[in-house]
């Protein structure tokens, strides 16, 4: 089947075209209407853009697709403004869903920065609202949370339980508060029973449709833990992956993943590709666990690392030995430094496009090494809008101005990508593009005017650059002959409107390899 798109702007690497011819899921020609329209035949389907704009499909450079799916079964606390709101939301969820005694309840999206109490909810609150259920509240960052007393009991956690390295199990006056951070929180969350694979697969389909609604045609599973293998085995077996998904297990789970998916290593099978390995070196700046070289305001706390230098180096060497890419979660500049040094010591890894995930406080003095070692920062630039005001409070305006230094990366000729780390925020690409171009906080403060970038550079970060990050730039990321027919139709040309209006652009149609996956 041939498709011709015409009567609207077509964004290409060479500028704006007028029409596109695609056949069997691949782009065959790009040019003027006069060039393309005569190429139609009786089997050609015409798509009149009606003045709208055709762009390459967006590529998600970092998120957690399964967590987005799992989140569809969880109550969201994102609109809670105090502990009373948290309590009423949990109570309503239990009642409306007829949650039985003993069933686990995981709630998502609370943020102590947005609660009137300016603190994490205490476990006693959870005990009072749902005394017969083990309850866990997960912070919106995914790096910490609160366990109820029954949840602690079910998991066998007592005051004598030692926190794993790189994590914290909080106590006050020798008594558990229920709050945990980083490796402690993550390790115990993994022990909570997951929904059955069929239920979660249904949610996985819904999650992919959410991504399609934002124009995304390739997504990431940013930490393929062995606990997720039944989900992906079911999804692959049922052909439930509607988009290409690139998955990254941790070094400790790589052997399990290779055994279950031997034909998926570095290549797609049933739309799943094992793209490399993923490690974490620190936490999140909005909860002050990102590992900094200098302290947060008002004290001596610099956050902390969650891996030793030796373990990071070993992971980088493992990736190089297997000829695999490595992604490393680094928010603070000290965490970035740890990863940069490890890659410097493994020259073979530098040819495998190592990715600094988040790179929030990547320092200006570190950019030269990043460029020299061919590393790719994937900036979570939407932090400027969602938590920029919190960062000003935590590190001061001067330091917060340098968060997600995209323009500085441009000046060093560093290829970079953008992401949303969904489910931390919605995978809204136009919001991210708007953030990168305008850099305004939710309180209207311009955060780092000198780090603003142009609209085209922002679009490249979520299209062709993201394709390059996945070693897929020859097939995806731009509208050119011999590229896949992964396209989106959007309401306005982002290159022609006022930068303040970028976030209001609507995705009207998402096309994956010639098939319409979403139509507004």
What CATH number is attached to the domain comprising 458? 3.20.20.140
What pLDDT was estimated at residue 415?
A: 98
Question: In this structure, are 176 and 215 located in the same domain?
Answer: no
What pLDDT was estimated at residue 194?
A: 87
What pLDDT was estimated at residue 327?
A: 98
pLDDT tens-digit series, residues 303-330 = 999 999 999 999 999 999 999 999 999 9
Question: In this structure, are 146 and 280 located in the same domain?
Answer: no
114, 390 contact by CB (below 8 A): no
pLDDT tens-digit series, residues 36-50 = 999 999 999 999 999
Question: In this structure, are 88 and 219 located in the same domain?
Answer: no
Ranges of the chain whose pLDDT falls below 70: none
* Rounded CA separation 393/359 (Å): 19
Question: In this structure, are 206 and 236 located in the same domain?
Answer: yes
Question: In this structure, are 438 and 389 located in the same domain?
Answer: yes
Question: In this structure, are 158 and 221 located in the same domain?
Answer: no
> For residue 138, is it within any domain?
yes
> For residue 69, is it within any domain?
no
Question: In this structure, are 209 and 168 located in the same domain?
Answer: no
Q: Kindly report the pTM of this predicted structure.
A: 0.94
Q: What is the CATH number of the domain that holds 37?
A: 2.30.40.10
Task: State the burial class of residue 408 (Cβ atoms within 10 Å of its Cβ: 0-12, 13-18, 19+).
Answer: buried
Question: In this structure, are 492 and 392 located in the same domain?
Answer: yes
* Rounded CA separation 478/469 (Å): 14
What pLDDT was estimated at residue 495?
A: 98
Domain end position, chosen among 164, 189, 214: 189
Question: In this structure, are 365 and 490 located in the same domain?
Answer: yes
Count of domains forming the chain: 3
What residues pair up with 168 in beta bridges, in sequence order?
181
For 59-89, letters b (16+ CB in 10 Å) and e give bbbbbbbbbbbbbbebbbbeebeebeebbeb
Residue-number span of the structural domain to which 137 is assigned: 74-189
Q: What is the β-pairing status of strands 325-330 and 355-358? A: parallel
Question: In this structure, are 98 and 227 located in the same domain?
Answer: no
* Rounded CA separation 512/189 (Å): 34
Q: What is the β-pairing status of strands 144-147 and 135-139? A: antiparallel
Domain end position, chosen among 126, 157, 189: 189
Question: In this structure, are 321 and 469 located in the same domain?
Answer: yes
CA proximity to 20, closest of 509, 495, 489, 481? 481
Question: In this structure, are 413 and 274 located in the same domain?
Answer: yes
What pLDDT was estimated at residue 148?
A: 97
- H-helix segments, 214-250: 229-237
> For residue 104, is it within any domain?
yes
- DSSP conformational letter for 498: -
């Amino acid at each position: 089947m041939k498709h011709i798109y015409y009567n609207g702007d077509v964004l290409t690497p060479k500028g704006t075209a007028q029409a596109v011819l695609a056949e069997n899921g691949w782009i065959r020609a790009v040019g003027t209407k006069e060039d393309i329209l005569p190429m139609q035949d009786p089997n050609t389907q015409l798509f009149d853009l009606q003045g709208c704009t055709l762009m390459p499909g967006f590529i998600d450079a970092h998120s957690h697709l399964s967590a987005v799916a799992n989140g569809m079964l969880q109550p969201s606390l994102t609109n809670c403004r105090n502990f009373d709101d948290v309590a009423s939301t949990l109570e309503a969820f239990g009642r409306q869903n007829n949650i039985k005694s003993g069933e686990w309840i995981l709630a998502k999206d609370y943020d102590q920065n947005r609660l009137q109490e300016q603190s994490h909810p205490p476990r006693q609150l959870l005990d009072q609202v749902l005394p017969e259920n083990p309850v866990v509240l997960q912070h919106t960052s995914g790096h910490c949370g609160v366990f109820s007393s029954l949840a602690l009991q079910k998991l066998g956690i007592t005051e004598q339980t030692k926190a794993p390295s790189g994590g914290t199990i909080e106590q006050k006056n020798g008594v558990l508060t229920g709050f945990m951070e980083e490796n402690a929180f993550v390790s115990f969350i993994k022990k909570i029973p997951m929904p059955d694979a069929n239920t979660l697969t249904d949610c996985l389909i819904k999650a992919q449709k959410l991504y399609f609604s934002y124009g995304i045609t390739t997504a990431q599973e940013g930490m393929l833990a062995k606990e997720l293998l039944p989900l992906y085995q079911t999804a692959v077996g049922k052909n439930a992956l509607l988009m290409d998904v690139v998955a990254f297990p941790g070094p400790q789970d790589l052997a399990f993943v290779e055994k279950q998916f031997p034909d998926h290593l570095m290549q797609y099978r049933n739309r799943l590709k094992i793209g490399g390995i993923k490690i974490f070196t620190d936490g999140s700046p909005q909860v002050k666990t990102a590992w900094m070289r200098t302290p947060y305001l008002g004290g001596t706390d610099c956050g902390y690392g969650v891996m030793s230098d030796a373990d990071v180096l070993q992971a980088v060497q493992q990736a190089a030995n297997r000829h695999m890419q490595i992604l490393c979660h680094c928010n603070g500049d000290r965490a970035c430094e740890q990863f940069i040094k490890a890659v410097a010591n493994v020259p073979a890894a530098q040819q495998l496009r190592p990715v600094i995930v988040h790179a929030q406080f990547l320092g200006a003095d570190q950019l030269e090494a990043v460029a020299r070692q061919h590393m790719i920062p994937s900036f979570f630039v939407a932090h400027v809008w969602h938590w920029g005001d919190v960062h000003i409070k935590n590190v001061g305006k001067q330091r917060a101005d340098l968060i997600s230094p995209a323009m500085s990366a441009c000046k060093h000729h560093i290829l970079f990508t953008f992401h949303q780390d969904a489910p931390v925020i919605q995978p809204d690409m136009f919001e991210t593009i708007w953030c990168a171009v305008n850099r305004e906080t939710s309180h209207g403060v311009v955060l780092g005017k000198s780090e603003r970038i142009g609209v085209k550079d922002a679009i490249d970060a979520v299209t062709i650059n993201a394709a390059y990050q996945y070693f897929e730039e020859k097939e995806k990321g731009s509208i050119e002959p011999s590229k896949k027919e992964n396209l989106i139709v959007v309401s306005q040309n982002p290159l022609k409107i006022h930068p303040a209006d970028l976030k209001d652009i609507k995705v009207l149609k998402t096309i994956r390899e010639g098939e319409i996956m979403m139509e507004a």
